[in-house]
Amino acid sequence: MKQNNAIHFEISERKVLLRIVDLLMAFFGIFVLSNYFGFEYLSISFENTVPLLVLVVYITIFGTIFELYDLQQASKLDVSFKNIVLCMSTVVLFYLLTPIITPFLPEARLQIIYFYVALIAFVFLWRVLYNTLIASPRFYKNVLLVGDLSNIDNVVTTLTKADSNYKFIGFINSEANSETESIKYKRLKEYTTTHLSNVIIDEQISEIIVAANNAENITSDLYHELMLLLERGFKIREYTQVYEEVTNKVPIQYVGKDFYKYFPFSRNNENKLYRFFQRTFDILFSFFGLLFMILIIPFVYLGNLFGNKGPLFYTQERIGRNSTLFTIYKFRTMVTDAEEGRAQWATKNDARVTTFGKFLRRSRIDEIPQFINVLKGEMSIIGPRPERPFFVAELSRSIPFYETRHIIKPGLTGWAQVNSRYGGSVEESLTKLQYDLYYIKHRSPFLDLNILLKTLSTVLYYRGQ
């Protein structure tokens, strides 16, 4: 059995492809300008190695901040164009403001406009090509699903929503007596074990995903067929691995008594060098963060005076690392006595949030006093958001492994904050926990940097809650 050689790109490959071709198209735009339009500000040459490398760095950093490599955003041309304009506007601005490492301004200032327009036009041209070619059916990944009938709808919906390039061709019920079951799944064609080899060839299947609640229930015939395929080099993957890779979340709803197999937490949790640099970064970042707070506090005070009408600061008990209690500091965003003696979930468009409080929340300015907590060592810049004891007790009863998020320090921002909405219910808290556990499992300097850049996106796009 030969592996299907049809071309398809994994999520990580598509993101890398977007980044690389963005840079190539930017360079191609400069090449066209310098060779056909008398452009002299910048050219593709060995002498311009440093300015070109600076351009690469700026496009890479600001492309991440302005979400050029978010696949959901990249699949929409109108959104892509807006993001490209914002990104290249910032890139050109920074490029002009760093003349020590970039070319000095040309005498003909119009060349700056040429440079700006070329970057936008050629990168957007690549987005058009990407959506026409890479996101077309010819690059879909044909998948055959093997699993329990009760799991199939959830698996198909989740993976298709997370990655539109997944195309489920059909499924095989892994449980015995599937042909006599009264309940059938009608959204996908059902195949039998005896037809497995033919289905893979005829439908050009690239991958089999196994989503069985209990592997012991897989029929012996199906087990042997899967073993033969695996021995011949065919790609077979377990659903929870695919789920984690595609969604960047830990699938705790599928974790049972064998939970220890799903939580091989990152070695960086115990890596003394990583933790030393993380603490050093926390201290330095907090120092500058508090300086920024001193600069803006007069403006926040005036806004609070007219828009909040009450105390400037707000304190509250939260759960920290190893479930220890600490007091968190924030700029107040709700009316005084908002909870009237009982803890309440914050909701979208919460009536308790004041007019000025909405601005503080959406801009994330209300979180700035927490640099005090970071400096004291109670929090880190990056980590799961600290929750209140009342809600921790409630969520721990409803959500398995919830208190696992307390094995590291809570953070000002985190993987859950840049990927999900405010956790205002048990369901949303479950989603946030999946992201938090993914961070704890995979935390690294690169993931931390990714979170910082995504946090900047959240602030710039005014998405705070």
Beta bridge partners of 189: 170
Question: Which secondary structure element, helix H or strand E, spans residue 316, and what is its range?
Answer: strand 313-319
Beta bridge partners of 328: 316
User: C-alpha distances in angstroms, 45 versus 39, 50, 173?
Assistant: 13, 10, 60
| pLDDT, average across residues 134-139 | 69
Q: What is the spatial distance between Cα 324 and Cα 257, in angstroms, rounded to a whole number?
A: 27
> Is the model's pLDDT at 80 over the cut of 50?
yes
* Dihedral over Cα of 202, 203, 204, 209: its sign: negative
* Dihedral over Cα of 452, 440, 252, 242: its sign: positive
Could you give the count of Cα atoms lying within 13 Å of 235 in the half-sphere of its Cβ? 15
Q: What is the spatial distance between Cα 414 and Cα 104, in angstroms, rounded to a whole number?
A: 39
Find, among 355, 356, 451, the residue nearest to 412 by Cα: 451
Contact 118, 82 (CB under 8 A): no
What is the pLDDT confidence band of residue 187, given thresholds at 50, 70 and 90?
confident
> Is the model's pLDDT at 345 over the cut of 80?
no
Find, among 451, 424, 456, the residue nearest to 436 by Cα: 451
Q: What is the pLDDT of residues 384-423, one digit of tens each?
A: 999 999 889 888 888 888 999 999 999 999 999 988 876 5
What is the pLDDT confidence band of residue 339, given thresholds at 50, 70 and 90?
low
Q: Looking at the domain covering 140-247, what would its CATH class be? A: alpha beta
Q: How many CB atoms lie within 10 A of CB 333?
A: 24
Q: How is the chain split into domains, by residue range?
A: 11-134, 140-247, 268-460
Q: What is the pLDDT of residues 269-320, one digit of tens each?
A: 888 899 999 999 999 999 999 999 999 999 999 998 888 888 899 899 999 9
Q: What is the spatial distance between Cα 7 and Cα 223, in angstroms, rounded to a whole number?
A: 28
> Is the model's pLDDT at 107 over the cut of 80?
no
Is 102 buried (19+), middle (13-18) or exposed (0-12) by CB count in 10 A?
A: buried
Q: What is the pLDDT of residues 194-208, one digit of tens each?
A: 878 888 888 888 899
* Dihedral over Cα of 188, 193, 195, 199: its sign: positive
Question: Which secondary structure element, helix H or strand E, spans residue 158, and what is its range?
Answer: helix 149-162
Least-confidence region, from 137-146, 200-209, 358-367, 377-386:
137-146
Q: At 100, phi and psi to the nearest 5? A: -70, -35
Instruction: Look up the pTM and report it.
Output: 0.84
Q: What share of the chain is helix, strand, coil (3-state, %, to 5)?
A: 60, 10, 30
What is the pLDDT confidence band of residue 465, given thresholds at 50, 70 and 90?
low
Q: What is the spatial distance between Cα 405 and Cα 383, in angstroms, rounded to a whole number?
A: 9
**What's the residue count for the chain?**
465
Q: What is the spatial distance between Cα 384 and Cα 398, in angstroms, rounded to a whole number?
A: 18
> Is the model's pLDDT at 75 over the cut of 90?
no
pLDDT of residue 356: 87
Find, among 84, 22, 91, 31, the residue nearest to 55 by Cα: 91
> Which residues touch 358 (CB under 8 Å, ≥6 apart)?
333
> Is the model's pLDDT at 180 over the cut of 50?
no
Say which residue the tokens 């069985």 belong to: 212
What the block records as the tokens of 410 is: 């809570």
Contact 322, 408 (CB under 8 A): no
> Which residues touch 75 (CB under 8 Å, ≥6 apart)?
131, 135, 164
Contact 409, 381 (CB under 8 A): no
CA dihedral 149, 153, 154, 157 (to 10 degrees): 150
Find, among 15, 20, 117, the residue nearest to 74 by Cα: 15
What is the pLDDT confidence band of residue 98, given thresholds at 50, 70 and 90?
confident
